[in-house]
Each structure stands twice: as C-alpha cells, then as structure tokens.
C-alpha cells in the first residue's frame, strides 16, 4: 500500500524547506533510508530520506518549491500501484490528503496535478502592501507562477499612499528609491521612471557555462540581499595591538600535551575577547526587530565558516560562560560539523553576534555584512606590522590585528560602536589580563 514521505522537521526554528534537487525519478526503486531529494533550510542543505520501501510513485512538489515541514512531498508504494493526487496550487497550504487506490498492476502511474499559473495569494498580498505591480514581476515559481520572493526582489523604499495607488492601478514601474524624505517614493517619481528596454545582445563564439544558483549559495544570496535592503549598515575599522595574542599563542603551542592548550588559536583568543566585551556592551548583544530591540542575557557567538558547500554560521552558545579552552573546543567541534555536513539547523540559528575571520587570506580590513537580525558583526583581518610613535618621537613597528565592526545604525549609534571597538582593542591588547578575570 502506498505511503507518504513528508518533509522532516529540522529543529524548532525551521518552518519550511526549499526542494533543491530530486535525486530519484518517478518509477525508480527506493529503500527506506535512500535519499529522495536535497532541501535547503534557512542556513544549510539537508538530505530527505525515504521512510518506505518500494517504487517512487509520485513527486508532489518540484525543485524550487518552498514546502512546510511535515507536509507530504512524495508517495512510495508497490510497482504499478496507481494513485490519484490532488496538489494544491499554493505550496504553503495545509498538508495534502492522498487517496490510494490499489488496482491491477499498470506500467504507468497516473498523477493528476492542476497547472499552476498567475500569482500565489502571499505574492498578491505582498504586491498590494509594497505597491509593486504584478505586471513588473518576473516569476520564478513552478510553471511560471509568481511567488512571494519574486515580489520581494523588487522591494525598495516605502511608497506614499498616492504613489502606491497609482502604481497598482496603472502598472507603473516603481523605483528602488524616490525623492521623498528618506528616499520615500512619491507619485511624481513614478512618472519619471521608464520601463527598461531589454535588447538582445548578439551571441559570440565564446563558450559559456551556466551554473544554477541553488542550495546554500541561493540561501546566502537571498540573506545578503535582505540584509542590505533591511538595515542601515555602517562599518568602523581599527587595529589592535597583537603582541599579547602572539605571545599567548606561542606559549599555548609549546605547552604540555596533557594540558590540552596546544590547539588554541589566535581566532579563539579573539572570540574570547569578543564574548567578554559584549558583556560590557549589551547593546551589541542584541537583535533589531523593527519596533523592538531584543537584548540577550548571554552571548551566543556566530562563527562564519567557509565550507565546500558555502558559507555557514554555527553558533557557540553561552560563550561568555566558557573558559578559553572550552570556547576553543566547542568552536572547533561546530566548524568540523559544518565541514563534514553533520551540523543541525538549530546549531546554525540563534546567534546574537557574529565574527568573520579572513585573516588567514592576508586581508587586513573589510566590510562584513550583517547577519540579520543581529545588531553588529565583527570582521577580523590579518596581523601586520604598523608604525607606532613612542614618547620620544621615534617610530617602532608593532604587530597589529585588523578589526572591522559593521553595525546597524537603526539600533545603535556610531559613538557607541566606536566605544565598543575601542574596548575590544584594549581587551585584545591585554588579553592575558582578561583571562584572569
């Protein structure tokens, strides 16, 4: 008898998953535990396994569909078993009811799915809310259907009531920013914008390779765009005296193996200093939620990690309560999980502040992008020699580590960010004393 395979629940923070790629075709034999498809959560890609033995009779969703957890995505049964399916047009609807009717063996499975067209209810609602005409939206949903993320891609500055009314009524192109206060789009801005004319460029003889944007790459692209569109980002750059870092690192590396300190890195020391500095400045250990700024009682550090699949940000929880050795061990354990693909969605969510270290690439300073809804993110650069003047007008070259703090100006002020960065510089410069507290 046919059985449904549902989109598994991936922790408490994941409400839906986007199907990235089907691994099996209708008619293929599958066993319990075989991977049916890969799906992306908010931060990672998971494998969805079959929970039944038999033949894949039907796939209820296509690649690119956003499927709520615990909703059936496929039907597995005996070869030749016929099933009649009713697929709701909107993928965010309630779980489908599948009626299984066992009949004489048939070589072909009959699956009836209504054609998708137009725009989803969520897309229509967002279109009316933002004042973005559906005629200006490029569909990316199944069978040319406009879905919510298509409308979201055209979101810009808020529209005045008159501009919103005219844009929806006349199908006018809405600019990303207008001439009103704070970039507000006015009705007069709509008249000044002409729809772009798309011209076909002549094809040359050069070979090209089109790579589909999917999986973690697609998630990262969406989150970076959302971060830049929804926040007011300002980055401050500074350099901290790194002599104490280098001295401690050398001492740990040469320590006795039974102490378990040899693996402590410069990055571990910086994470320790960040966790203690955030306790001093709770305004930066927070989430900006629009009308509310939520501060947290403990520091949950996100550690940006480069993996073969893309950027992941595992979370080291309660970092402010961990010793340097514990922080080092837990950070390495989380990074290892990211690299070998065993990290769980809940381990990639809930960070209150993120650190991104690219110093190993020789980068001195950069502009990290906020991991929304966090208030700030720290970029860590390479250790380089910097000239420092002493009291006798002589210059010495001292090792410094680059620090780049990006903050959301909606939640904190520049002076607060400067004070936080100054305190972090001092804590790094005297990290040996900080360890004693």
Active site amino acids:
409, 413
What is the bridge-based pairing of β-strands 16-22 and 66-68?
antiparallel
The size of the chain, in residues, is: 437
Give the residue among 168, 180, 174, 172 at the shortest CA–CA distance from 156: 174
Distance CA 356, CA 404 (A): 10
| Terminal Cα-to-Cα distance of the chain (whole angstroms) | 65
* Element containing residue 421 per DSSP (H, E): helix 414-429
Residue among 333, 223, 217 at smallest CA distance from 268: 333
> With the CA atoms of 248, 253, 256 and 257 taken in that order, what torsion angle do they form, in degrees rounded to the nearest 10?
130
Closest CA to 66 of 93, 84, 97: 93
Count of beta carbons in the 10 Å neighbourhood of residue 130: 19
Burial class (CB in 10 A: 0-12, 13-18, 19+), 334: buried
CA distance 211 to 253: 43
* HSE-CB for 98 with a 13 A CA cutoff: 26
Q: Which residues of 180-214 are buried (b: 16+ CB within 10 A; e: fewer)?
A: beeeebbbebbeeeeeeeeeeeeeeeeeeeeeeeb
Q: What share of the chain is helix, strand, coil (3-state, %, to 5)?
A: 30, 25, 45
**C-alpha closest to that of 242 among 26, 27, 431, 44:** 431
């Amino acid at each position: 008898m046919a059985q449904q395979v549902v989109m598994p629940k991936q922790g408490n923070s994941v409400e839906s998953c986007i199907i990235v790629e089907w691994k099996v075709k209708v008619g293929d034999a599958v066993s319990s535990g075989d991977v049916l498809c890969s799906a992306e959560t908010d931060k990672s890609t998971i494998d969805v396994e079959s929970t039944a033995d038999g033949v894949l009779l039907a796939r209820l969703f296509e690649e690119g569909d956003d499927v709520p957890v615990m909703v059936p995505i496929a039907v597995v049964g005996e070869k030749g078993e016929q099933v009649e399916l009713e697929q709701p047009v909107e993928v965010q609807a309630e779980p489908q009811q599948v009626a299984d009717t066992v009949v004489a063996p048939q070589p072909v499975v009959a699956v009836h799915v209504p054609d998708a067209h137009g725009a989803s209810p969520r897309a229509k609602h967002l279109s009316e809310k933002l004042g973005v005409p559906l005629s200006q939206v490029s569909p990316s949903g199944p069978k040319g259907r406009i879905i919510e993320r298509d409308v979201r891609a055209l979101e810009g500055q808020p529209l005045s009531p008159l501009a919103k009314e005219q844009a929806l009524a006349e199908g006018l192109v809405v600019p990303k920013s207008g001439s009103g206060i704070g970039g507000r789009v006015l009705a007069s801005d709509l008249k000044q914008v002409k729809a772009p004319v798309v011209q076909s460029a002549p094809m040359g003889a050069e070979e090209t390779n089109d790579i589909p944007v999917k999986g973690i790459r697609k998630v990262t692209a969406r989150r970076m765009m959302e971060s830049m569109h929804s926040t007011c980002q300002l980055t401050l750059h500074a350099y901290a005296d790194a002599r104490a870092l280098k001295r401690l690192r050398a001492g740990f590396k040469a320590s006795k193996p039974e102490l378990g300190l040899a693996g402590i890195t410069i990055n571990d020391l910086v994470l320790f200093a960040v966790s203690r500095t955030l306790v001093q400045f709770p305004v930066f250990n927070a989430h900006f939620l629009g009308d509310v700024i939520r501060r947290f009682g403990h520091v949950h550090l996100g550690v940006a990690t480069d993996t073969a699949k893309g950027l992941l940000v595992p979370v080291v929880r309660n970092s402010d309560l961990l010793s340097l050795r514990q922080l080092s061990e837990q950070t390495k354990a989380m990074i290892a999980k990211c690299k070998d693909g065993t990290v769980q969605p809940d381990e990639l969510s809930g960070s209150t502040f993120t650190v991104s270290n690219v110093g190993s690439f020789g980068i001195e300073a950069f502009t990290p992008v906020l991991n929304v809804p966090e208030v700030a993110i720290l970029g860590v650069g390479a250790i380089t020699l910097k000239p420092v003047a002493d009291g006798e007008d002589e210059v010495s070259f001292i090792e410094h580590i680059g620090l780049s703090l990006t903050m959301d100006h909606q939640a904190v002020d520049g002076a607060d960010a400067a004070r936080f960065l100054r305190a972090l510089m001092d804590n790094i410069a005297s990290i040996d004393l900080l360890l004693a507290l």
